[in-house]
């Protein structure tokens, strides 16, 4: 049998159930189930467990406050810092503070190389999009949750929204303009949208 990371919880139930979260097998088992029983179920379901683990891996950057797992700029923060963040409000404040430290530098970098300048950028709690641009107002909104992603992915969103100041649609010209300033944008975009 493979070497899985396993957490077992015994409950008043009839059957052994296995789920996956953050690369760990979460096993719910009847109180009377032995370790041998549990390992047998895992072994018999190895193929579907591997599929669940693979699917779970694709859920990049999943925070878990109860386990002190918090992502910032594509990596988990150290556990001592994570222990200080206990609520969603605290997490959002943490993200806002860190984005406000990094975004001015990213905007400045891309303002300089593209010659495109926003009048203002704001950080918003957006879950459906990473960013939005209002060309007529020169306003760019950046999703608060982008703070979880790698700096390269954040740069792509800033660049993407800046290009909208010049080209409002997602035409071939729009993407060739992005390509001028970020040659690997397709790969970065794939990661961002996974």
Q: Which domain holds residue 29?
A: 6-59
User: Are 150 and 133 a contacting pair, CB within 8 Å?
Assistant: no
State residue 58's pLDDT score: 60
Lowest mean pLDDT among 10-24, 79-93, 163-177: 10-24
Give yes or no: residues 55 and 118 share one domain. Answer: no
Average pLDDT over residues 97-122: 94
Give yes or no: residues 124 and 173 share one domain. Answer: yes
Average pLDDT over residues 158-187: 91
Q: Kindly tell me if the per-residue pLDDT of 143 is higher than 80.
A: yes
Side by side, which strands form the sheet with 120-124?
Answer: 120-124, 139-143, 131-134
**Is residue 1 in a domain?**
no
**Is residue 67 in a domain?**
no
Q: Kindly tell me if the per-residue pLDDT of 130 is higher than 80.
A: yes
Total count of domains within the chain: 2
Q: Tell how strand 24-30 and strand 6-11 pair up.
A: parallel
Give yes or no: residues 93 and 186 share one domain. Answer: yes
DSSP assignment, residue 69? B
Give yes or no: residues 137 and 174 share one domain. Answer: yes
**Is residue 12 in a domain?**
yes
**Is residue 134 in a domain?**
yes
Average pLDDT over residues 155-175: 92
**Is residue 170 in a domain?**
yes
State residue 59's pLDDT score: 64
Q: What percent of the chain has pLDDT over 90?
A: 41
pLDDT digits 0-9 by tens, 36-87: 988 898 889 888 888 887 776 666 677 888 888 889 998 888 888 888 988 8
> How big is the CA angle at 78 (ends 75 and 82), to the nearest 5 degrees?
100
Give yes or no: residues 100 and 178 share one domain. Answer: yes
Average pLDDT over residues 104-118: 94
**Is residue 73 in a domain?**
no
* Residues 168, 15: Cα–Cα separation, whole Å: 55
**Is residue 107 in a domain?**
yes
CATH label of the domain that carries residue 143:
3.30.2010.10
* Residues 12, 67: Cα–Cα separation, whole Å: 24
State residue 100's pLDDT score: 96
Give yes or no: residues 43 and 97 share one domain. Answer: no
Give yes or no: residues 94 and 177 share one domain. Answer: yes
Give yes or no: residues 41 and 115 share one domain. Answer: no
**Is residue 55 in a domain?**
yes
> What length does the chain have?
194
pTM of the model: 0.69
pLDDT digits 0-9 by tens, 153-162: 999 999 999 9
pLDDT digits 0-9 by tens, 92-107: 999 999 999 999 999 9
Give yes or no: residues 35 and 102 share one domain. Answer: no
Give yes or no: residues 177 and 116 share one domain. Answer: yes
């Amino acid at each position: 049998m493979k070497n899985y990371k396993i957490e077992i919880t015994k409950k008043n139930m009839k059957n052994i159930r296995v789920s996956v979260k953050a690369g760990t097998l979460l096993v719910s088992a009847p109180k009377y189930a032995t370790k041998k029983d549990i390992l047998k179920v895992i072994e018999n379901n190895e193929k579907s467990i591997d599929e669940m683990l693979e699917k779970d891996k694709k859920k990049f950057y999943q925070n878990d406050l109860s386990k002190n797992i918090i992502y910032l700029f594509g990596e988990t923060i150290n556990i001592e810092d994570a222990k200080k963040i206990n609520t969603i409000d605290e997490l959002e404040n943490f993200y806002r503070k860190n984005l406000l430290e990094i975004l001015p530098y990213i905007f400045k970098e891309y303002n300089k190389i593209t010659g495109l300048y926003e009048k203002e950028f704001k950080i918003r709690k957006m879950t459906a999009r990473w960013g939005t641009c209002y060309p007529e107002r020169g306003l760019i909104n950046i999703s608060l949750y982008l703070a979880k992603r790698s700096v390269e992915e954040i740069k792509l969103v800033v660049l993407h929204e800046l290009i909208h100041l010049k080209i409002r649609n997602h035409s071939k010209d729009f993407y060739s303009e992005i390509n001028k300033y970020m040659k690997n944008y397709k790969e970065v975009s794939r990661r961002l949208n996974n």
